[in-house]
């Protein structure tokens, strides 16, 4: 028996958001709205999304011993996430500085802070947490060598889900255990390199990615739905869920969390992706990231 349905290993950031009429040019100052501070980071977002759906969820991350770190911990605990794996200290909490213009377009500068200090040694020290988790999900807002250590410490029979964001080339050791590797168009092309430039359509991306070694692949296509691919199931389309989108912030994180949880519960890749698409659809009808993530009852109502 596993103590957790999902362990998320990843980043936790404080999102500092200012609305602006336009972004400043070099050397220019512009006035903006009042500062809004929200809990964020891909790892923290995924943990909250899964817990809100009802998954027994834990987070392995590092924050600073500061006010932003306390904000992030409070948000995790309020959602029902087990935070025994969240380490504090070593650097200030990671921060994302976000400006948003009237059209909704944003510009983001991230200071990784404590996220960059989540080390392979931290993963080894938390091996008991990894072995107690049915599924482990990670992203790339923490050091790549830390993600490598995660795959080396998975529970026997445990499942590993990776969203390689921000994207970078991945070692074969990591690709070989991804089940699935979850990418959007940009991430797919970065990982494929030159091969991605010649691929004609998303189905080709999925097949080329699968040939690199993952056990399965999911390509998210925004309003066009998603693709799932595996060696035994071929490539299949997952239909989009039509909603009136208000804010797409965090939608990809909610999709990944929901998919990882449903896979651990025994759903097929296509079934899990279809459920995750509904979760993502609910989240984009609300503003914000973590505050937009739905409960299982809200997903069922959709």
Give the tens place of pLDDT for each residue, 236-254: 898 888 888 777 778 899 9
Average pLDDT over residues 63-84: 97
Share of residues in the chain with pLDDT > 90 (%): 65
Domain assignment of residue 26, yes or no: no
Number of separate domains in the chain? 1
Q: Which of 114-128, 137-151, 156-170, 183-197 has the lowest mean pLDDT?
A: 183-197
Domain assignment of residue 219, yes or no: yes
Domain assignment of residue 58, yes or no: yes
Residue 253 annotated to the active site:
yes
pLDDT tens digits for range 139-149? 999 999 999 99
Domain assignment of residue 28, yes or no: no
Catalytic residue among 5, 244, 253, 300: 253
pLDDT tens digits for range 28-69? 999 999 999 999 999 999 999 999 999 999 999 999 999 999
Domain assignment of residue 123, yes or no: yes
Higher pLDDT, 221 or 144: 144
The CB-side HSE value for 60 (13 A sphere, CA atoms) comes to 30
Q: What confidence score (pLDDT) does residue 197 get?
A: 65
pLDDT tens digits for range 267-279? 999 999 999 999 9
Q: What confidence score (pLDDT) does residue 196 get?
A: 63
User: Average pLDDT, whole number, for the chain?
Assistant: 92
Domain assignment of residue 25, yes or no: no
Range of the domain at 81: 4-18+35-301
Domain assignment of residue 159, yes or no: yes
CATH classification at residue 180 = 3.40.1190.20
Domain assignment of residue 157, yes or no: yes
């Amino acid at each position: 028996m596993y103590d957790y349905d999902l362990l998320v290993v990843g980043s936790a950031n404080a999102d500092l958001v200012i609305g602006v009429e336009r972004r400043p040019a070099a050397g220019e100052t512009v006035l903006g709205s009042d500062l809004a501070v929200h809990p964020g980071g891909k790892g923290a977002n995924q943990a909250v999304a899964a817990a809100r759906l009802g998954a027994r969820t834990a987070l392995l991350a590092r924050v600073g011993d500061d006010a932003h770190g306390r904000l992030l911990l409070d948000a995790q605990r309020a959602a029902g996430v087990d935070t025994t794996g969240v380490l504090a200290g070593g650097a200030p909490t990671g921060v994302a500085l976000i400006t948003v213009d009237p059209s909704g377009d944003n510009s983001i500068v991230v200071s990784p802070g404590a996220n960059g200090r989540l080390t392979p040694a931290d993963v080894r020290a938390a091996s008991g947490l990894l072995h107690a988790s049915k599924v482990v999900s990670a992203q790339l807002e923490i050091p790549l060598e830390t993600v490598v250590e995660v795959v080396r410490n998975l529970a026997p029979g445990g499942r590993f889900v990776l969203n390689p964001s921000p994207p970078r080339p991945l070692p074969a050791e990591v690709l070989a255990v991804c089940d699935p590797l979850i990418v959007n168009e940009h991430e797919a092309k970065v990982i494929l390199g030159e091969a991605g430039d010649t691929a004609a359509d998303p189905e080709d991306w999925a097949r080329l990615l699968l040939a690199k070694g993952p056990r399965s692949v999911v390509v998210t296509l925004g309003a066009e739905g998603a693709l799932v691919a595996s060696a035994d199931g071929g490539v299949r389309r997952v239909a989009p869920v039509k909603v009136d989108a208000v804010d797409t912030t965090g939608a990809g994180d909610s999709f990944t969390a929901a998919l990882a949880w449903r896979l651990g519960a025994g759903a097929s890749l296509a079934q899990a992706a279809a459920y995750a698409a509904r979760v993502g659809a609910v989240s984009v009808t609300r503003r914000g990231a973590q505050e937009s993530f739905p409960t299982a009852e809200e997903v069922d109502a959709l």
